[in-house]
Structure 1
């Protein structure tokens, strides 16, 4: 008797559920959308179950479809890990690591941490994906990436914290800004009187800032909202305003004296943490495990502030 769960059809189902669209899944797979539709329809016939709900904006898996999607995800992750471990029998001569992170970690990562790692393991390759907090968690939970670096994540049973280091949100300003000359930690009410740049609400720094505003009953009205820490750097360096970020995200600017990090007198902002996450229950390939240990030991973000 043939197996009704055909791996190729299962992949078409997985990609369609992942993208929420048969057409987008077909583009990613390099096939005609009609091929994807026919293969999923055949899988539904073989299993006598509806696997996708079709609606005007795309598709989403049914309960039965989600069961198969999770099965495929586990199977793909186990297969990738097994292949990686087979390569590692020869040592870390080959291998690939998928890393997803918030932009604030980029400068730190690209400094001594990654360069030193590659000098030690020159044959390993790494892909870097920039994302907001929720997308970092999703990429790790879905086994799309091995390691995630993010700031102030919500609790999620799907992820495991490998390191969580206190990195307070500070006021980032030019040294000649009036708030830099107060000689004390600033209060949110102090910041409210000046032009402010912030990240979009999907980012951990902005989510935490919103909680701090509620706790003090202070409403901040950003003049600039962006997805880029680099844009916030230029906003502040150009004397257009101030921002609120962890100091490690602009460490080079602080080191060269163009910016300063001033403590903020708020317990929520003072207790914020930088996290390194992996999926709960997943055993990382050796190459990813080596990089994980390296990042925790070498990056400024994971050294106590």
Structure 2
């Protein structure tokens, strides 16, 4: 097998026209250059240089290897530039998986900012189930309790706390409240808005802390549908802020306390991707997206006034 470094020494000799000049350019001794050329000729099985006047010139094999050495040198330089761009976050690709309700309020504004700051980085963005991680993705958005363990090779980075709101039918006895105590909903029929998993666990744990287990009269596992059942008077429901992007006209949304159920949204980041500037930039954008313009969100303090 031909030694690529020796091929570059050959190129230096051919370009400069002599072993002595190549040695000076490379910072080697002439003897060291001659040894490298002799070793390369043994690898090639053919003479690469011949004497010409006071210097040397390449044989046909020497010309061939010199041309390939030039191509290799160019590709190595291109690779170094590409690697520098990747390390600096100017190029590359980031694979992101997210769940539906995080899309509009969290992912969309974060991605818009990220693209402004990293225009050369391609984002492979796909929707995925919020309870599972994707081993092929650099970043997967998941719902997990704070301090939860995760799989090997992944690191959890907290992005946002998404509090639940009480969704009540218009005319409900608590509709004129700004805030409702969770325990006051213990005797209400409930419309279940969550499927089994970490989101439902957050609701059930808050209810347990308030001293009751909710009576699920209707199961639907989908936020917009849950609002429809509530509007029809079939019960009350709890929906996280990120799930209130579209509100049914015949419901009211009220804040909760004692305690306030919260689902914690994290990024499960591949350990091998954490050091990439593009991934770090995306995580920063995600963390800051949820804090921007909070008063404009459905279910915010402004949106939960008694007139809402």
Name the TM-score, length of structure 2 as normaliser. 0.54
Higher helix share: 1
Residues 164 and 122 (structure 1), Cα distance of their counterparts in 2 relative to 1, 3 Å cut: closer
Q: Is the 8 A contact 2:189 2:216 kept in 1?
A: no
Residues 224 and 102 (structure 1), Cα distance of their counterparts in 2 relative to 1, 3 Å cut: farther
The residue aligned with 1:247 is: 241
The residue aligned with 2:163 is: 168
Equivalents in 2 of 1:247, 1:191: separation in Å? 21
Per-residue CA distance 1:138-170 (angstroms, 9 max, x = gap): x2xx3x222233334371154434335443322
The residue aligned with 1:20 is: none
Quick one: which of 283, 298, 301 aligns to 2:289? 298
The residue aligned with 1:108 is: 105
**C-alpha RMSD over aligned residues:** 3.9
Q: Is the 8 A contact 1:147 1:278 kept in 2?
A: yes
SS of 1:264's partner is strand
Equivalents in 2 of 1:187, 1:170: separation in Å? 10
Equivalents in 1 of 2:113, 2:165: separation in Å? 29
* Residues 1:97 and 2:94 aligned together: yes
Cα offset, 1:201, TM superposition: 0.9
SS of 2:149's partner is coil
Equivalents in 2 of 1:274, 1:258: separation in Å? 29
Equivalents in 1 of 2:208, 2:258: separation in Å? 11
Cα offset, 1:242, TM superposition: 3.1
The residue aligned with 1:126 is: 124
Q: Is the 8 A contact 1:87 1:94 kept in 2?
A: no
Residues 215 and 295 (structure 1), Cα distance of their counterparts in 2 relative to 1, 3 Å cut: closer
The residue aligned with 1:86 is: 83
Residues 151 and 260 (structure 1), Cα distance of their counterparts in 2 relative to 1, 3 Å cut: farther
Number of corresponding residues: 213
Which ranges of structure 2 fall in alignment gaps of 5 or more residues? 1-78, 301-308
Cα offset, 1:122, TM superposition: 4.3
Equivalents in 1 of 2:127, 2:109: separation in Å? 19
Q: Highest CA radius of gyration, 1 or 2? A: 2
Equivalents in 2 of 1:120, 1:259: separation in Å? 40
Which ranges of structure 1 fall in alignment gaps of 5 or more residues? 1-81
The residue aligned with 1:218 is: 212
Equivalents in 2 of 1:259, 1:145: separation in Å? 38
The residue aligned with 1:6 is: none
Residues 91 and 212 (structure 1), Cα distance of their counterparts in 2 relative to 1, 3 Å cut: closer
The residue aligned with 2:222 is: 228
SS of 2:215's partner is coil
Name the TM-score, length of structure 1 as normaliser. 0.54
